[in-house]
Amino acid sequence: MKDFGSETFLRFDNVKKSYDQKNLVVKGFDMDVKEGEFITLLGPSGSGKTTVLMMLAGFESVTSGDIAISGKSINSTAPNKRNIGMVFQNYALFPHMTVAENLAYPLSVRKMPKAQIKERVAQYLELVELSAFGDRRPGQLSGGQKQRVALARAMIFQPSLILMDEPLGALDKNLREQMQFEITRLHKQIGFTVIYVTHDQTEALSMSDRIAVFNDGVVQQCAPPSELYERPVNAFVADFIGENNFVAGQVTNLTDGVAQVKTDAGTITARAAEGLTDGAACRVSIRPEKLFIHPTDHAHDNALTVTFNTRIYVGDFIRYYFKMPDGTDIIVKVLNDLSAPNFDDGAQAQLLSLTNDCTAFP
């Protein structure tokens, strides 16, 4: 982790939003952001991510609560006085202007002298590797190039905060990955603070310093990518981030945050999530890459005895589908090397896991 110091740059304090004075679509959002952090709001469609961004930009009012930058409330600051750069999925470039004119626009609005504008535009065209494209109109550019122009236009007046709402949603997979890399590079190089919205967890995991996982207007967990992945606080996060198996069982012992869970495929020990009680029904999450396949020749601890169903070749990995006694699937991901085992149809196997990789949720 980078060290961002202790100063809070941007603060959301119990921010709520209702569009109809009845239902809250953002239900008390709290977050402290440090200068230079790359924060992602991640969640399913309709969970309130764009609404948070719009309130921060000033295009939507805050129903209650407070948003502050450098300690000063911006609730009643006009959008154009907030000094925030923005990038959207649909580029929002001016079609009748050239690329260079699009970049010059935010500067001339801010009354920068002409000669200085020219210099700054050239500098930012170079930054996004579009120096040869200054005279083209947006209609003469590819999707990726348009998005680089939009990015340059958001950065060119050197705001301390840049908001991006699903900026890569319109691009195909290869271009999206390239642009993710590009945005990360510019963020590192220039050091602005980013609030980035996406519903794509891979994008969130690979780009962010911290991710706030939204569901239904509530932040479920806000943490660095590895913590979200390894230590989800609830079943929603465990399910939403990455892939997970959920094994049903019952807690037979709960000591020092470690639960013994009896399932119909065997007993496993797991880290107990918040709210778990002894004797209660629970679900244990185990990632497909954290299960290890063993033969049934002798009994292991922390093992589930399952039946082989099918094996799917996906190139770098092989995905194994086993059946639990109750018929539910349990998936194991194995690196495609010489250790990837073969099974006859209906063969039995043991799936081993470490306590640290299993979490029992109420």
Ligand X SMILES: Nc1ncnc2c1ncn2[C@@H]1O[C@H](COP(=O)(O)OP(=O)(O)O)[C@@H](O)[C@H]1O
Judged by the rule CB under 6 A, the positions of this chain that interact with ligand X are 19, 25, 43, 45-51
Q: Of the two residues 29 and 91, which places its CB atom closer to ligand X in the complex?
A: 29
β-strand 8-18 against 64-69: which pairing, if any?
Answer: antiparallel
Quote the least distance from Cβ 258 to Mg ion, whole Å.
Answer: 39
Quote the least distance from Cβ 299 to ligand X, whole Å.
Answer: 47
Quote the least distance from Cβ 199 to Mg ion, whole Å.
Answer: 8
Q: Of the two residues 17 and 34, which places its CB atom closer to ligand X in the complex?
A: 17
Q: Of the two residues 106 and 167, which places its CB atom closer to Mg ion in the complex?
A: 167
Q: Of the two residues 165 and 182, which places its CB atom closer to ligand X in the complex?
A: 165
Quote the least distance from Cβ 49 to Mg ion, whole Å.
Answer: 5
Q: Cα dist. 22→17, 45, 160, 169, 205 in Å?
A: 10, 20, 35, 31, 34
Q: Of the two residues 46 and 143, which places its CB atom closer to ligand X in the complex?
A: 46
Give the number of residues in contact with Mg ion, rule: CB under 5 A: 1
Cα maximum dimension of the chain:
80
Q: Tell me if residue 348 falls in helix, strand or coil.
A: strand
19 touches which of Mg ion, ligand X, none (CB within 5 to 8 A by kind)? Answer: ligand X
Question: CA 233, 237, 242, 245 torsion: positive or negative?
Answer: positive
Closest CA to 10 of 212, 226, 150, 180: 212
3-state helix, strand, coil in the chain (%, to 5): 25, 35, 35
Q: Of the two residues 43 and 232, which places its CB atom closer to ligand X in the complex?
A: 43
Instruction: Candidates 10, 34, 43, 50: give the one binding Mg ion (CB under 5 A).
Output: 50
Q: Of the two residues 43 and 85, which places its CB atom closer to Mg ion in the complex?
A: 43
Quote the least distance from Cβ 47 to ligand X, whole Å.
Answer: 4
Alpha-carbon gap, residue 204 to 218, rounded angstroms: 18
Alpha-carbon gap, residue 4 to 33, rounded angstroms: 9
Quote the least distance from Cβ 217 to ligand X, whole Å.
Answer: 7
Q: Tell me if residue 42 falls in helix, strand or coil.
A: strand
The contacts of residue 104 (CB under 8 Å, 6+ apart) are 117, 118, 121
Q: DSSP secondary-structure letter at 60?
A: S
Q: Of the two residues 49 and 210, which places its CB atom closer to ligand X in the complex?
A: 49
Quote the least distance from Cβ 123 to ligand X, whole Å.
Answer: 33
Q: Rounded to a whole number, what is the distance in angstroms from the first to the last CA of the chain?
A: 31
Q: Of the two residues 84 and 103, which places its CB atom closer to Mg ion in the complex?
A: 84
Is the Cβ–Cβ distance between 143 and 179 less than 8 Å?
no
**Phi and psi torsions of 285, nearest 5°:** -95, 135
Alpha-carbon gap, residue 305 to 250, rounded angstroms: 17
Quote the least distance from Cβ 46 to ligand X, whole Å.
Answer: 4
Which stretches within the chain are classed as H helix? 49-57, 99-109, 114-127, 143-155, 173-190, 201-207, 225-230, 235-240
242 touches which of Mg ion, ligand X, none (CB within 5 to 8 A by kind)? Answer: none
Quote the least distance from Cβ 53 to ligand X, whole Å.
Answer: 8
Element (H, E) at 150: helix 143-155
Stretch that binds Mg ion, among 2-10, 44-52, 75-83, 294-302 (CB under 5 A): 44-52
Question: Is residue 215 involved in binding Mg ion (CB under 5 A)?
Answer: no
Residue type, 342: N
The tokens describing 130, both together, are 């579009």
- Using CB under 5 A, list all residues that contact Mg ion: 50
